Copies of this chain bind each other. A is one copy, B any other.
Amino acid sequence: MESETTETIIRATGRSLCEYGYADLTMQRIAEESSVTTAAIHYHFDTKEELLNAFLDDLVDRFEQQLACEAGDPRQRLSTLLDAVFTPSKSTSDEFPVALMELKAQAPYHDSYRERFIELDETLRAVVADAVDDGIEAEYFEAVDPATVARFVSTVVNGGHLRQVALGEDPEETRRLIEDYLDAQLGWRPEGAA
């Protein structure tokens, strides 16, 4: 579906969002950030909201791709998830968590953003729950409720994101909490974890 032009626009949207913040994000600025004219941007996206929906769809897709590892070992799948959440991608800037938080704060005013954040959350929780379920089956993990572990992990991930943005806290603090929690619950911690 995605043409090269829309992909260019979506990338420029991400960069502009990081640079100017949500309130000052305009089609004009996105055009300046890309090699695409404002007319061409308007041809593909009617409104700023539509543009940001496409940006979030792209984010959800890439997150799902990162997690679509074929590892049969559920321990490896949990490790991959923690890496996906806590290791910043080379293609995103330091301002990316800040820009994403601004969109989350706007979700109450834009159902379309909220739907996408719910999808992202459901993906994250499904990956954790499935891995925990399989790990219990394989007797790698203690028998616990996979859905509860999944909710815990995703809530702590959300908390870590907010702490990074609002307090300037190192996300490694949050990663350690999750590793301790998994150890206490499952009797397992990711390799290389402290």
Contacts and interface: CB of A to CB of B under 8 A. Distances in A.
A23 to B, nearest CB: 5
Given A101-B105, A105-B105, A165-B107, A173 B158 contact: no
A142 to B, nearest CB: 12
Contacts of A114: 166-168
Interface string A87-108: 0000000010010011011011
A159 to B, nearest CB: 3
Within the oligomer, what is the number of copies of this chain?
A: 2
A173 to B, nearest CB: 7
A117 interface: yes
A155 B114 CA distance: 22
A39 interface: no
Interface in A169-193: 173-174, 177, 180-181, 184
A157, A161, A162, A181, most chain B CB atoms within 10 A: A162
A148 B107 contact: no
Contacts of A121: 163, 167
Contacts of A109: 21
A163 B165 CA distance: 15
A29 interface: no
Interface of A: 21, 23, 95, 98, 101-102, 104-105, 107-109, 114, 117-118, 121, 148, 151-152, 154-163, 165-168, 173-174, 177, 180-181, 184
13 contacts: A21-B109, A98-B108, A101-B105, A102-B105, A104-B166, A105-B166, A107-B165, A114-B166, A114-B167, A121-B163, A151-B177, A158-B159, A162-B162
